[in-house]
């Protein structure tokens, strides 16, 4: 499938697991907000979110793995998925496997958003598509498919230490076709919660 726009990833209308990978403050949440807006503009569907600080129109919040497993025929965005799934506890891996299988077979599209070090071999192997924003290469987990995909990119954005994706872009990898596409991700100022933070220091 040719990916010209970011939302084309969802155009086949099939259950899938999608990853959004980026360093801190490099537009992960902004990418989620943009995808939600574009999905709602194109299609009628039920959207659930977890971990977003900003408000989104016509979406519902999910607060637990138990709730996740009851969802059907929906698009689900999970920001900082590492915390929800307790990924630092390896004993949880078989349970996460069951949860992901349940979500998939219940006809859902699941989008997992996190840092490079959050995408271990297990999670990386589940992804049909990967959105890359700026990433520090040393932070990827050795042997993970997410790291292998990043290092296999052959254009100028890949350096020796960084995958440098422009702020208003995302690099999208499609596993089925083994192809990369650069797509536009506009900055949504109204969703930038950092702008609400008070200044740490005031001028005298």
Structure tokens belonging to residue 57: 């129109």
- CATH at 161: 3.40.50.300
Say what the pLDDT of residue 98 is.
94
Average pLDDT estimate for 75-86: 93
77, 56 contact by CB (below 8 A): no
183, 5 contact by CB (below 8 A): yes
Question: Residue 82 falls within a domain, yes or no?
Answer: yes
Residues 6, 186: Cα–Cα separation, whole Å: 11
Question: Residue 102 falls within a domain, yes or no?
Answer: yes
For the whole model, what pTM was predicted?
A: 0.92
Say what the pLDDT of residue 152 is.
97
Planar angle of CA 185, 191, 193, nearest 5 degrees: 125
Average pLDDT estimate for 138-166: 97
Say what the pLDDT of residue 1 is.
57
Q: Can you say how many angstroms the Cα of residue 201 is from the centroid of all Cα atoms in its chain?
A: 33
Residues 42, 135: Cα–Cα separation, whole Å: 30
Question: Residue 203 falls within a domain, yes or no?
Answer: no
Beta strands in 4-58 (DSSP E): 16-21, 46-50
pLDDT tens by residue, 111-150: 999 999 999 999 999 999 999 999 999 999 999 999 999 9
- Please check the confidence at residue 193 and state whether its pLDDT lies above 70: no
Structural domain containing residue 177: 14-186
Question: Residue 97 falls within a domain, yes or no?
Answer: yes
Average pLDDT estimate for 19-35: 95
Number of structural domains found in the chain: 1
């Amino acid at each position: 499938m040719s990916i010209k726009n970011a939302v084309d990833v969802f155009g086949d209308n099939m259950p899938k697991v999608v990853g959004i990978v980026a360093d801190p403050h490099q537009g992960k949440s902004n990418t989620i907000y943009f995808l939600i807006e574009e999905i709602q503009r194109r299609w009628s569907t039920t959207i659930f979110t977890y971990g977003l600080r900003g408000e989104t129109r016509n979406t519902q919040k999910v607060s637990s793995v138990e709730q996740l497993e009851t969802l059907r025929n929906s698009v689900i965005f999970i920001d900082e998925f590492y915390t929800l799934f307790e990924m630092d506890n390896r004993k949880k891996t078989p349970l996460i496997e069951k949860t992901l299988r349940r979500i998939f077979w219940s006809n859902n599209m699941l989008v997992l958003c996190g840092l490079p070090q959050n995408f271990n071999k297990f999670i990386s192997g589940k992804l049909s598509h990967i959105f890359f924003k700026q990433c520090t290469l040393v932070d990827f987990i050795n042997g993970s498919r997410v790291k292998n995909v990043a290092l296999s990119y052959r254009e100028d954005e890949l350096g020796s230490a960084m995958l440098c994706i422009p702020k208003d872009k995302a690099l999208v990898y499609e596993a089925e076709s083994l192809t990369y596409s650069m797509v536009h991700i506009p900055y949504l100022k109204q969703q930038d919660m950092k702008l609400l933070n008070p200044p740490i220091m005031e001028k005298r």
